[in-house]
Amino acid sequence: MTIHDTGIPTPPPGCPAHGSGAPVPLYGPEFASDPDAYYAYLRHLGAAAPVELAPGVRATLVTDHTSARQLLQDSVTFRKDARRWREFNEGHIPPDSPVAPVLAYRPNCMFSDGSEHLRLRQTITESLSQVKPRRLRQTTEKVSDYLIAQFGSRGSADLLADYAKALPLFVFNELFGCPPDIGDRILFGATGMFDGVNAERAVEVLFGAVGELVALKRSRPGDDVTSWLMRHEAALTDEEMVHQLALLLVAGNEPLRNLIGNTLHRILTHEGYAQKGGLIDEALEDTLWENPPMQNLAAHYPAHDVEFAGRKLREGDLILVSFAAANGSPALESARRGSGSRAHLAWSAGPHACPSKDPARQIAMAAIENLLNHLPDVELAVPEDSLVWRPGPFNRGLTSLPARFTPLKVARPTDEQGLGGRTSSEQRPTAAERAPERRGGVWSQFLNWLSK
């Protein structure tokens, strides 16, 4: 970004908004490499500004913290039901637009309003509340151990592809009570949707697998989130069950993947945390402030023509909140300096604030702690400026995070060892001891490993 002598920022290099008044594009490598420059320019345009999420997809983006909170808490003026999206209904959005799968309506709590939203949201919050913190941590540590076992002896890994990307879905599969075959297909479907490889097929596989999981739990309920959702007094239909579970799997995985990856990136690129004894909690909070896993989202639609944040909006216009830009509002600097302040909007706010922020935070903390306990000398394996951020208007995550560390040694059993080849002082095998030997999908391999 450049600054005139007047102190007014101009659009970053490569931005077609130079002098044209055109919407500012929030996609492509230029935006991904330096989003803060774009947000600084957008703030200059006002508390809300015109943007383009993808070619042909225009929206208004709120960048001011106070205005963002006002929008998020006003469920009368601003609605979540994407069936209100005027330009989509009028056919102005290309059918193959890359943002359509994120913004298009689905019958779950994210796209509902009023009493229907409350009914669906309660099924999620009350079911997740039954997951005990101890179980959540133990599940996360087991998954973490398994993933570390796959690369620990190499002395190097891509902490995104090999760890942060897979861990959330593995934990969800365990908590939702997925058997091997269904779990394999859920992992394939949810991962494929975000990787952009045959996304249509990935969606088909995901919803087919979740449908089978619902049918299975109808006949054989268990001690898992799927069964608790099913038993809820809201009496969800099978269709509602499928869409609620898919929301938890997909919308929960992407932010958590990025939160783990972005926090690891921060720890590996800022020496201050190591000097303070590895304060993971502080690193995670700083990440939520400065590099939130979802930078722009919370799509809303005015219920009627309205003037908001200095801009005139028509009924059904698409308006989003920039959590990243709002967190960087100058007015928030003093609030952030306050001890323990969590005034950021990384978890959103209002009636549609993230319903699973506490479990997500617990999973991220346990995953990072366990990784650093196993790999205390882990460090970035490439220059920081060579890292590449994934393009796109919504999420904020790296394409890879190469790291190196002292290789883990695989324990060798001896005749003198007990407990299945381990010394009696060992409570459980190390992460590198147990790698899968049977063929099958990755979830099946994990279950095989877990049963050893």
- CA terminus-to-terminus distance, the chain: 55
The Cα–Cα gap between 19 and 359 comes to 46
CATH (residue range 46-450): 1.10.630.10
- Which one, of 265, 292, 297, lies nearest residue 378 by Cα? 265
The Cα–Cα gap between 411 and 431 comes to 10
Q: Tens of pLDDT along 237-265?
A: 999 999 999 999 888 888 999 999 999 99
Neighbour tally for 377: CB within 10 Å: 8
Q: CA triplet 108, 299, 188: central angle to 5 degrees?
A: 55
The Cα–Cα gap between 126 and 109 comes to 14
Are 166 and 261 in contact by the 8 Å Cβ rule? The answer is no
Measured CA distances, 307 to 63, 136, 303, 338 (Å): 16, 45, 12, 33
Q: Which residues of the chain have pLDDT under 70?
A: 1-21, 193-199, 274-278, 335, 337-341, 410-440, 452
Are 9 and 41 in contact by the 8 Å Cβ rule? The answer is yes
Taken in order 179, 182, 185, 191, is the CA torsion positive or negative?
Answer: negative
Indicate the pairing of strand 78-79 with strand 296-302. antiparallel
> Would you give the DSSP letter of residue 295?
-
Are 249 and 210 in contact by the 8 Å Cβ rule? The answer is yes
Instruction: Return all residues near 66 (Cβ < 8 A) that are at least 6 apart.
Output: 47, 329, 331
- Which one, of 321, 325, 324, lies nearest residue 350 by Cα? 321
pLDDT of residue 42: 96
Are 141 and 366 in contact by the 8 Å Cβ rule? The answer is yes
> Hunting for tokens 């080849």 — which residue is that?
421
Q: Which residue type, as a one-letter code, is found at position 417?
A: Q
Task: Give domain limits for the chain.
Answer: 46-450
Query: CA-based Rg of the chain, rounded to a whole angstrom?
Result: 23
- Full DSSP string of 407-429: PPPPP---TT-BTTTB-TT-SS-
pLDDT of residue 198: 64
pLDDT of residue 431: 47
- Helix, strand and coil content of the chain, in percent to the nearest 5, comes to 50, 10, 40
